[in-house]
């Protein structure tokens, strides 16, 4: 746990830039967060349908996640949907799946500071 916290602090994942700073990582992370939230809203409308639409949307969501990156954001946003979490784990090469349980949740308890997330609008 200490290693993860040290890495979090080292790369300043919780950093909120001031007006004068140009932190593209922060802005990009927020953009991806909004994309993931939009995907989640659509997923919640479709995930329990019995037709192929849910499978197609899942594939589309995974492709979007692979294109834009920020694996941890997607995992956090889709935390309540093990089907999506498992698909994300398989989609990102190099992800060590032994660190995740059968539902796709991290075995490490690493809370994300709430003040580093954009507000939902």
pLDDT digits (tens, 9 = 90+) for 24-56: 777 788 899 999 999 999 999 988 887 789 999
**Taking the CB of residue 38, how many other CB atoms lie within 10 A of it?**
12
Predicted confidence at residue 48, as pLDDT, reads: 84
pLDDT band at residue 11 under the 50/70/90 scheme: low
Question: Is this model's pTM higher than 0.75 or not?
Answer: no
pLDDT beyond 50 at 64: yes
How distant is the alpha carbon of residue 96 from its chain centre? 16
Predicted confidence at residue 26, as pLDDT, reads: 75
Q: What are phi and psi of 59, to 5 degrees?
A: -60, -40
Please, are residues 118 and 34 in contact by the beta-carbon 8 Å criterion?
Answer: yes
How distant is the alpha carbon of residue 110 from its chain centre? 14
- Token output for 48: 């329990």
Strand-pair partners of 100:
106
**92, 91, 120, 89: which is closest to 103 by C-alpha?**
89
């Amino acid at each position: 746990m200490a290693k993860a916290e040290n890495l979090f602090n080292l790369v300043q994942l919780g950093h909120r830039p001031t007006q004068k700073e140009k932190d593209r990582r922060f802005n990009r992370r927020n953009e991806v967060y909004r994309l993931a939230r939009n995907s989640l809203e659509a997923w919640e409308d479709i995930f329990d349908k019995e037709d192929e639409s849910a499978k197609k949307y899942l594939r589309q969501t995974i492709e979007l996640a692979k294109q834009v990156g920020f694996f941890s954001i997607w995992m956090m946003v889709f935390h309540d949907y093990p089907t999506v979490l498992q698909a994300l784990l398989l989609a990102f090469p190099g992800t060590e799946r032994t660190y995740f349980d059968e539902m796709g949740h991290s075995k490490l308890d690493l809370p994300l500071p709430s003040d580093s997330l954009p507000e939902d609008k």
